[in-house]
């Protein structure tokens, strides 16, 4: 049963945005970078860039995969996870 819970936590990704001032996200693998205008997260669904003003990562738990961000959120943008580049042999074997 515990393995099912861990699998569910690892594959779920949710975002809750309250009044464009408080953002909570789950399914976060890591906080790649952040400053006052941009927060970049690596999530289960790809890289998530959050843009705005006076942004701050107020809490991050690598164990639960949850992050809390405060500030004025202006946009959310995903990019797909980058596939590992294949070596020469991998490209030739397509």
Strands 38-43, 28-34: pairing is antiparallel
Which residue shows structure tokens 């004025």?
72
Domains annotated for the chain, with CATH where assigned, are: 2-82 (2.60.40.2000)
The pTM for the full model equals 0.74
Residue 25 pairs in a beta bridge with: 15, 67
Instruction: Identify the DSSP state of 86.
Output: P
Phi, psi torsion values for 90, nearest 5 degrees = -65, -40
If residue 4 lies in a helix (H) or strand (E), which one and from where to where?
A: helix 2-11
Tens digit of pLDDT at every position of the chain (94 positions)? 444 444 444 568 999 999 999 999 999 999 999 999 999 999 988 999 999 999 999 999 999 999 999 999 999 999 986 655 556 666 566 5
């Amino acid at each position: 049963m515990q393995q099912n819970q861990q699998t569910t936590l690892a594959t779920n990704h949710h975002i809750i945005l309250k009044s464009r001032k408080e953002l909570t996200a789950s399914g976060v693998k890591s906080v790649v970078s952040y400053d006052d205008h941009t927060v970049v997260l690596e999530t289960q669904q790809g890289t998530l860039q959050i843009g705005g003003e006076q942004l701050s990562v107020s809490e991050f738990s690598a164990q639960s995969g949850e992050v809390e961000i405060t500030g004025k959120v202006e946009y959310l943008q995903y990019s797909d996870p980058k596939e590992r580049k294949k070596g020469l042999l991998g490209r030739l074997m397509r």
